[in-house]
Structure 1
């Protein structure tokens, strides 16, 4: 059992690791400090309890041995692959997660694709914790719950997230392509996942290949990350998590849980900042991420327009502003017309205006109406074409490019009036 002093050291390690990364990286050449920390055993000793649920179904609880009644632990609900058992097939992975201060509840059920078995496991843990005599009574945080599962269990994890609000992040491992889900009640729709998701696969796995994982990543409407293990040592890479304990991915699974459920600053370095660590880890390929908490926001991209002035009346140009990727949240940005060139002239050639552009959740393009006034005046001294501009500022849930010009949409107005003959 770790001492209270060790626990204090663990909780203070995040700030120290962050500082060491900045100070020592140039000297030591360290590139994967998050992986290096989470790759080993965690600071908690782990106890394993066999459980029997009210239905008669059995399961396991992997729990950290608390050094103090003040310690509070998040929860991980585990889902087995087809025909698999937590103690036979996943002991390394589940014990390692628990050693970092997570209570892991795992049903022994070997067909968990509906997700119901995972929710039964979670409900049983809630009953245990409610008993004043339970060893972790008052020390389990059911407001911070993650679902992790492999193969069919990845599908069951996905289903459980969709079916309850009691799970707050999802980590599906080798989530099968739709053609490998053979029962209607086990089908899942990743577009309905509304919690942060870290989806992993292994190159060479035809059940959950790179295209499949990329498809699910794209379908998830908000915060998500993905990676493929490049060189699994397992003969059939689909079994990477049962035969190899997850290999390189194990450290990042735990880091993800710490990042999302605990808000751990060091763990977040794997997924956020200017150079998220997992994005460049040499044992991964096809890494991607979007909309992560504390991560890089989607980029606003103004599009230029070209239009003829016209001879009379008004012409409304819909100036397009794009987002680099969709997020399941509203995006807003202020806009205003500007005339740094002196031509064209506001009030004569176009209508000066300003407003707020709103992107609905999931929307990747929106337009700003820009009104041009037509005339029949030949303007020999005007540039051809004349350029008006719309400037963006003050975005919410998005960002602008670093250069000032990245916030500008140019509207080129062609003077289509020609000199007459006297």
Structure 2
């Protein structure tokens, strides 16, 4: 039974924000991947923040869209981990403008996918022909994970990742039946307020759906504020590289998480 309310999750996530101040657009490139990444904004997708390799590589960039904790419209709230993902050759689009305020919703994740697909074919776009529009991931933290499960009903989605998140009510469980691509739940362990919700959702996933449930004892705040997103950044980048690029070293990292590490892992239909 799910009992944690949206207001409680929002309040906890706001606390996290106090330790991660926003920086102006065009901050220093970052990430541990081969393509140091930065962020930018565009009038064509005004209410979002776009993370991409500072120098666009020859390889096409799969699409990753992100919903923030507290459903907060601050596109730089999770800057460290989003630069990390982008530095591995992904186009990452977060809900909200840099340092923005207000609330977001699941439709904004779909808007981000639509924009990326359009930019790949727009004549004057610097992204023309540089985006892999056939590879799409949806991610979200806490309240943003609830946005992610809604948006992942879209047939274009190839994988979904829920960070410290789970549906808030059994009345919403029908949304799980609409998931059609591999999913991963990463929680902060039993001290994470979203832990029981994530476990409950994992147990209700459609039969046959490839899924990972992984717990690291770091609580609801995770490792997002650490350099490159800390352990969450390392594991999240590996999941993306496996699911969207077929990287076999990344696959081995994910499948080996529960061996000799602090992670506690359950998986099904995933090999």
Q: Give the alignment's TM-score, normalised by structure 1.
A: 0.51
Q: Is the 8 A contact 1:248 1:283 kept in 2?
A: no
Q: Any idea what SS the aligned residue of 1:143 has?
A: strand
More helix by share: 2
How far the C-alpha of 1:111 sits from its partner, in A, is: 3.1
Matches within 5 A, 1:14-413: 41-53=32-44, 57-66=46-55, 70-82=58-70, 83=72, 85-87=74-76, 89-108=77-96, 110-113=102-105, 115-162=106-153, 164-179=154-169, 189-205=175-191, 207-209=193-195, 211-221=196-206, 222-230=209-217, 232=218, 237-240=219-222, 242-244=224-226, 246-271=229-254, 276-285=255-264, 287-292=265-270, 295=271
Deviation at 1:199, TM superposition (A): 0.7
Contact in 2 for aligned 1:81/1:111 (Cα 8 Å): no
8 Å Cα contact 2:242/2:248 also seen in 1:
yes
CA distance in 2, matches of 1:188, 1:81: 22
Shift of 1:288: 0.6
Corresponding position of 2:20 = none
DSSP 3-state at the match of 2:166:
coil
SS at match of 1:283: coil
For residues 128 and 149 of structure 2, what CA distance do their matches in structure 1 show? Answer: 28
Cα deviation for residue 241 of structure 1 reads: 5.2
State the partner residue of 2:26. none
Give me the whole-angstrom Cα distance separating, in 2, the residues matched to 1:74 and 1:281: 31
Structure with the greater relative contact order (CA < 8 A, sep ≥ 6): 1 or 2? 2
Task: Provide the C-alpha distance between the structure 1 equivalents of 2:142 and 2:56, rounded to a whole number of angstroms.
Answer: 35
Query: In the TM superposition, what is the alpha-carbon distance from 1:64 to its structure 2 partner?
Result: 1.6
Q: Shift in Å at residue 132 of structure 1?
A: 2.2
Alignment of 1:3-22 (within 5 A): none
Judged with a 3 Å threshold, the aligned counterparts in structure 2 of structure 1 residues 67 and 78 are, in CA distance, closer, same or farther, namely closer
Q: Report the CA distance between 1:136 and its aligned residue.
A: 2.0
Aligned residues: 233
Q: 1:51 offset after TM fit, Å?
A: 2.1
Q: Decide whether the 8 Å contact of 2:33 with 2:84 is kept in 1.
A: yes
CA distance in structure 2 between the partners assigned to 1:49 and 1:131 by the alignment: 18
Gaps of 5+ in 1: 1-39, 296-422
Secondary structure of 1:270 counterpart: helix
- Determine if contact 1:177/1:207 at 8 Å carries over to the other structure: no
Conservation of the 8 A alpha-carbon contact between 2:224 and 2:230: no
- Whole-Å separation in 2 of the counterparts to 1:47 and 1:243: 17
Q: Aligned-pair distance for 1:117?
A: 1.1
Tell me if structure 1 keeps the 8 A contact 2:66–2:94: yes
Retained in 1: the 8 A contact 2:141–2:164? yes
**Separation in structure 2 between the aligned mates of residue 246 and residue 218 of structure 1, nearest angstrom:** 28
Deviation at 1:66, TM superposition (A): 4.5
Offset at 1:206? 5.0
**1:238-295 superposed Cα distances (whole Å, 9 cap, x missing partner):** 2225544643222111111111111111111123xxxx3112252212x111111xx1
- The match for 2:16 is none
Larger Rg: 1
Tell me the distance in 2 between the aligned counterparts of 1:281 and 1:91: 29
Residues 97 and 254 in structure 1, CA contact (< 8 A), matched pair in contact too? yes
Secondary structure at 1:240's aligned position in 2?
coil
Q: CA deviation at 1:174?
A: 1.2
